[in-house]
C-alpha cells in the first residue's frame, strides 16, 4: 500500500535527535519492511508548548490550509500514485493532527493513528483546542495503534465505537545492538581509553538527552540515588547532551571527582558499543513513555534499573531483565542498583534474558507484521463502513 506518513510533534527529518524522532523513523522502516511504500506527507509541526490559545488557533488555521493544499496535490496525481492510507504518529493535546483527518476525508481513505494519548483533564485547560482536535481525530480514526499501555484507557474513551484498537510493543532494529554484545572486551577497552574510565570497576550507563523538565528530574533523581552508594566501587558514564547540560553536571557533581564521565551526544551508530561495554543501565525514567535507551540496552544484553513509570514495565521485565522501582524514589532506586552491583552473575543472567526478549518481542520484524495487519484491517473497516 501507499502510505502517507505524518508526525505532528516532530518530523522524522528533524535535525535534533530524540526518542520521538527515532520511533517515527522506525515506524517508517517497519512499514517499508512490510512492503508498503511510505512517503513523508508533511513536515508541518503543530506543537504548541506554552498553552497559548491564540497560537493554537493560528496553527489550526495553518494546518487546515496545509491539509487543503495536500488534498489538492494528491487529487492531481494518477489514482495509482495517491495514498491509500494516512498514518499519523504521536498526537496529543500539545501536538494535535490538523492534517490527517481532513486529507483522509478528502481522499476517502483510512486514517490510522499510532501512539496517541488523551486525558479528560485537559478539556478545559489552556490546551483545550488541541485536546478537542485530538479527541476528534481519535473518533475519526479507522485504527489506533498503541505503544504505551498506560495510554489505552484514555484512547478508548475517545475512539469511535468501531475503531480498531491495536497494541504494538515498542520496538527497535536490534541487529547492531545484539552484534555488539559479542565484542564487549574491545569496546570496553576503547571506551576506557577515550573517556578515562577504570575498566576494573562496574560501569553504570545513562543514555538520555539533557533538557529541562522530566529528563533533568531523572538526572537529579539518579544523582540522589547514586549519592547513597559512595561505599561501592562504580563509575557513571553519561551519554547525551542538550540545553540542560550545566544543570545535569551540577546535579551529578555531588558524586565526587572521578565518578562521572561524560561522552556527550553520540550518533546512533556508536551507541551499541556503549551498551555492550557497560555493566548496568540506570535511568529513573520520570514520566517516561517507555524509553528507547531501555530497549537498546537490553538488545545489547544489558540489565536495567529503571523507574516503573508509564510504559516502562511493558518493556523491562521486572526481576527478569532488570529491577523496577517506584517512580521518583531515590532510596528504592539506590537499593536496586546496590543489589545488582553486588551480584555480577545475576546481572549477566538478566542481560542474557533481555537480549532474547528484545529479539523475540520488540524487534522491527515483529513490528512490521503487526503494522501490516493493522493497515489491512483498517482498509477493510473503511470499506465496510464506507
The domain made up of 2-171+363-385 has a fold known as Rossmann fold (3.40.50)
CA 339 vs CA 212, 279, 328: distances in Å:
30, 13, 18
Give dist(CA 289, CA 211) in Å, integer.
16
Contacts for 256 with CB less than 8 Å, ≥ 6 apart: 230
What element of type H or E holds 81? none
Ordered by start, the domain boundaries in the chain are 2-171+363-385, 175-361
Give the pairing type, strands 203-207 and 280-283.
Answer: parallel
Per-residue pLDDT tens digits for 302-349 = 999 999 998 999 999 999 999 999 999 999 999 999 999 999 999 999
Q: Could you confirm whether domain 175-361 is CATH 3.40.50.2000?
A: yes
Q: What tens-digit pLDDT sequence spans the chain (386 residues)?
A: 999 999 999 999 998 888 889 999 999 999 999 999 999 999 999 999 999 999 999 999 999 999 999 999 999 999 999 999 999 999 999 999 999 999 999 999 999 999 999 988 888 889 999 999 999 999 999 999 999 988 999 999 999 889 999 999 999 999 999 999 999 999 999 999 999 999 999 999 999 999 999 999 999 999 999 999 999 999 999 999 999 999 999 999 999 989 999 999 999 999 999 999 999 999 999 998 889 999 999 999 999 999 999 899 999 999 999 999 999 999 999 999 999 999 999 999 999 999 999 999 999 999 999 999 999 999 999 988 87
C-alpha cell at 30: 517497519
Single pTM value for the model: 0.91
By the 8 A CB rule, do 303 and 278 touch?
A: no
Give the pairing type, strands 322-325 and 235-239.
Answer: unpaired
By the 8 A CB rule, do 305 and 325 touch?
A: yes
By the 8 A CB rule, do 108 and 22 touch?
A: no
3-state secondary structure of 282: strand
Beta bridge partners of 111: 86
Per-residue pLDDT tens digits for 3-18 = 999 999 999 999 888 8
At residue 173, the pLDDT reads: 96
Give dist(CA 305, CA 221) in Å, integer.
13
C-alpha cell at 308: 516503573
CB atoms within 10 A of CB 268: 12
- Would residue 256 be called left, alpha or beta, if left means φ above 0 and alpha means ψ between -120 and 50 degrees? left
Amino acid at each position: 500500500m501507499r502510505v502517507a506518513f505524518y508526525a505532528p510533534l516532530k518530523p522524522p527529518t528533524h535535525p535534533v535527535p530524540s526518542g520521538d524522532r527515532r520511533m517515527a523513523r522506525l515506524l517508517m522502516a517497519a512499514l517499508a519492511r512490510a512492503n508498503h511504500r511510505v512517503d513523508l506527507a508533511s513536515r508541518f509541526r503543530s506543537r504548541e508548548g506554552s498553552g497559548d490559545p491564540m497560537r493554537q488557533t493560528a496553527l489550526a488555521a495553518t494546518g487546515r490550509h496545509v491539509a487543503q493544499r495536500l488534498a489538492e496535490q494528491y487529487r492531481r496525481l494518477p489514482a495509482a500514485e495517491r495514498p491509500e492510507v494516512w498514518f499519523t504518529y504521536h498526537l496529543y493535546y500539545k501536538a494535535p493532527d490538523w492534517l490527517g483527518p481532513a486529507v483522509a476525508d478528502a481522499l476517502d481513505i483510512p486514517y490510522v493513528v499510532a501512539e496517541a494519548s488523551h486525558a479528560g483533564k485537559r478539556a478545559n485547560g489552556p490546551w483545550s483546542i488541541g485536546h478537542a482536535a485530538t479527541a476528534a481525530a481519535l473518533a475519526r480514526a479507522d485504527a489506533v495503534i498503541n505503544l504505551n499501555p498506560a495510554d489505552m484507557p484514555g484512547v478508548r474513551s475517545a475512539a469511535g465505537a468501531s475503531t480498531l484498537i491495536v497494541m504494538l510493543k515498542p520496538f527497535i532494529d536490534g541487529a547492531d545492538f545484539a552484534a555488539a554484545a559479542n565484542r564487549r572486551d574491545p569496546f570496553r577497552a576503547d571506551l576506557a581509553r577515550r573517556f578515562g574510565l577504570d575498566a576494573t570497576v562496574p560501569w553504570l550507563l545513562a543514555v538520555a538527552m539533557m533538557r529541562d523538565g522530566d529528563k533533568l528530574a531523572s538526572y537529579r533523581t539518579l544523582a540522589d540515588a547514586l549519592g547513597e552508594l559512595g561505599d561501592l566501587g562504580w563509575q557513571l558514564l553519561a551519554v547525551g547532551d542538550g540545553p540542560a547540560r550545566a544543570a545535569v553536571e551540577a546535579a551529578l557533581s555531588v558524586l565526587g571527582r572521578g565518578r562521572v564521565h561524560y561522552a556527550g551526544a553520540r550518533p546512533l551508530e556508536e551507541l551499541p558499543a556503549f551498551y555492550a561495554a557497560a555493566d548496568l543501565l540506570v535511568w529513573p525514567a520520570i514520566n517516561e513513555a517507555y524509553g528507547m535507551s531501555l530497549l537498546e540496552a537490553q538488545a545489547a544484553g544489558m540489565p536495567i534499573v529503571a523507574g516503573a513509570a508509564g510504559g516502562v514495565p511493558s518493556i523491562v521485565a521486572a526481576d527478569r531483565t532488570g529491577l523496577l522501582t517506584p517512580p521518583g524514589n531515590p532510596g528504592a532506586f539506590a537499593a536496586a542498583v546496590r543489589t545488582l552491583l553486588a551480584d555480577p552473575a545475576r546481572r549477566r543472567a538478566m542481560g542474557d534474558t533481555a537480549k532474547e526478549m528484545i529479539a523475540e518481542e520488540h524487534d522491527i520484524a515483529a513490528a512490521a507484521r503487526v503494522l501490516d495487519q493493522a493497515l489491512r484491517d483498517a482498509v477493510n473497516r473503511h470499506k465496510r463502513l464506507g
